[in-house]
């Protein structure tokens, strides 16, 4: 499979498949394709479908396979930003925020990644569950705004505002901490809780989370009398 990412800040990844090759994506994510791409929809079993429901994902995924010769299929991002191609290997699974996944090759496996601490689950800004990609293959990930990467050493920490984590290695630990000081909480203009990640591993941060953008737009809307 060959691919090209083009069109930032409204990017699309165009994939050129050989006969028999398959791409997997969530329902509704295909943007355009050649007529010889065969679509099959699958839920992956009751257990996986329940996990998808908890994580806020679509319960079904579409498999697109090139039939009778090479095929073309494209997946566009849902928000201005960038698309990253991530190589997934058995020894290095990757954890994504729930709306980051765009598409992948057929060898990539999906699992629900549970935050083990209740505080992280309730206040971490990423929800109780995230997505984990494992197996072998190539995955395409959406980044809201621009991407900034850090390689954290063992024990090295980063404090991150809610929603700015796009993805991280599964070796990175996530926790939350409350903003200290009453005045900071009341007048600081920040969230009540921040996310704390601890290495080792890579983290990828996004500069304009969709949730922050939506909040900015809402604050500018005229109030109803």
225 in a structural domain:
no
Interacting residues of 10 by C-beta distance below 8 A, sequence separation 6+: 76, 77, 80
Distance CA 85, CA 133 (A): 13
Share of the chain above pLDDT 70, in %: 72
Give 193's pLDDT tier (boundaries 50, 70, 90). Answer: confident
Question: Where do the H-state alpha helices sit in the chain?
Answer: 46-55, 118-123, 182-187, 210-220
Q: What is the count of structural domains for the chain?
A: 1
- pLDDT number for residue 48: 52
> Could you report the per-residue pLDDT of 78-130, keeping only the tens digit for each?
889 999 999 999 999 999 987 899 999 999 998 887 655 545 455 444 445 68
Q: Is 102 or 192 the better-scoring residue by pLDDT?
A: 102
Q: What is the mean pLDDT of residues 201-221?
A: 78
What share of the chain has pLDDT > 90, as a percent?
55
The answer to whether 15 touches 3, Cβ cutoff 8 Å, is yes
- Cα separations in angstroms, 174 against 16, 37, 180, 207: 37, 40, 19, 19
Q: Is the pLDDT of residue 192 over 80?
A: no
pLDDT band at 174 (very low <50, low <70, confident <90, very high): confident
Confidence grade of residue 187 (pLDDT, cut at 50, 70, 90): very low
Tell me the average pLDDT across 144-166.
Answer: 92
pLDDT at residue number 219: 66
Tokens 């290695």 sit on residue: 169
Considering the domain boundaries, does residue 70 fall inside one?
A: yes
Q: The tokens of 144 are what?
A: 């809201």
pLDDT, mean over the chain:
82
pTM: 0.80
Distance CA(118)–CA(205), nearest Å, equals: 23
Residue-number span of the structural domain to which 31 is assigned: 2-220
Q: To which H or E segment does residue 155 belong? A: none
Domain of residue 157, CATH code: 3.60.160.10
The residue whose two tokens read 């989370």 is 209
Question: 222: pLDDT confidence band, cut at 50, 70 and 90?
Answer: confident
């Amino acid at each position: 499979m060959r691919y090209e990412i083009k069109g930032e800040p409204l990017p699309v990844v165009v994939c050129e498949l050989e006969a028999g090759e398959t791409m997997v994506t969530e329902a509704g994510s295909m943007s355009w394709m050649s007529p010889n791409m065969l679509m099959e929809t699958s839920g992956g079993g009751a257990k996986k479908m329940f996990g998808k429901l908890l994580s806020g994902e679509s319960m079904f995924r579409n498999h697109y396979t090139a039939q009778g010769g090479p095929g073309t299929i494209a997946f566009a991002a849902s928000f201005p930003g960038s698309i990253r191609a991530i190589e997934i290997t058995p020894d290095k699974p990757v954890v994504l925020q729930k709306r980051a996944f765009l598409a992948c090759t057929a060898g990539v496996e999906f699992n629900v990644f549970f935050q083990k601490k209740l505080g992280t689950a309730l206040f971490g800004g990423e929800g109780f569950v995230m997505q984990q990609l494992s197996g072998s293959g190539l995955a395409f990930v959406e980044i809201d705004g621009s991407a900034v990467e850090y390689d954290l050493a063992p024990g090295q920490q980063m404090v991150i505002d809610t929603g700015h984590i796009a993805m991280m290695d599964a070796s990175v630990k996530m926790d939350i901490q409350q903003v200290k000081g009453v005045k900071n909480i009341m007048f600081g203009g920040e969230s009540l809780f921040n996310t704390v990640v601890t290495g080792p591993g890579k983290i990828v941060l996004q500069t304009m989370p969709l949730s922050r953008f939506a909040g900015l737009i809402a604050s500018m809307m005229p109030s109803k009398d």
